[in-house]
Amino acid sequence: MTLSTTTSPEELLRRVLRRHAAGVTVVTVPGPAGFTATSFTSVSLRPALVSFYLGRTASTAGAVQRAGRFAVHLLGTADAALAARFAASGADRFEGAAYETRADGLPVLSAAPAWLIARVVSRRPVGDHILVVGELEAGAVREEAVPLVHHDGAFALASRLTPDGARGTGGPYGSEP
């Protein structure tokens, strides 16, 4: 579909970014509070920094603004329901979710195949969002899992391709190239 020149920048951004697949995470902070995010990314290896964005008007924005630390949970395809729960508005997102509470109140979800904990080193407004950058303190990979991604408005799975571009069949991600 070709967009007309009268398409607003906001609509153009939405339509184009529906084509971009992004890994699905759940970010948690003391409270407990948490939300599903696809904006998580690594920033630097030295020092080890990660970041995410959150809308300034999100229900969890106040808790994120107050938090000194956060946990990012990298989800697998078996965690689609968990991702949907933490994306829902007006619900107790932690109801029925297994998690461990750290000494400072930071919740770490038990079901996530991998997680990181970071100390907030920078918070700044960027457009209608808040950029949060954290320095890595801890983390673990509990299990290998097919990554959960978000693409074209829905959850999906990521799988490896063979060198010729065909989808692999071996292992959790397909055959190794």
Instruction: Render pLDDT for 9-68 as a digit per residue (tens, 0 to 9).
Output: 888 888 888 888 899 999 999 999 999 999 999 999 999 999 999 999 999 999 999 999
pLDDT of residue 175: 41
Cis peptide before 32 (omega within 30 of 0): yes
Angle (nearest 5°) at CA 46 between 40 and 50: 10
The domain made up of 22-149 has a fold known as Pnp Oxidase; Chain A (2.30.110)
pTM metric for this prediction: 0.87
Residues 52 and 40: their CA atoms lie apart, in Å, by 4
Residue boundaries of the structural domains of the chain: 22-149
Nearest residue to 83 (alpha-carbon basis) of 138, 18, 154: 154
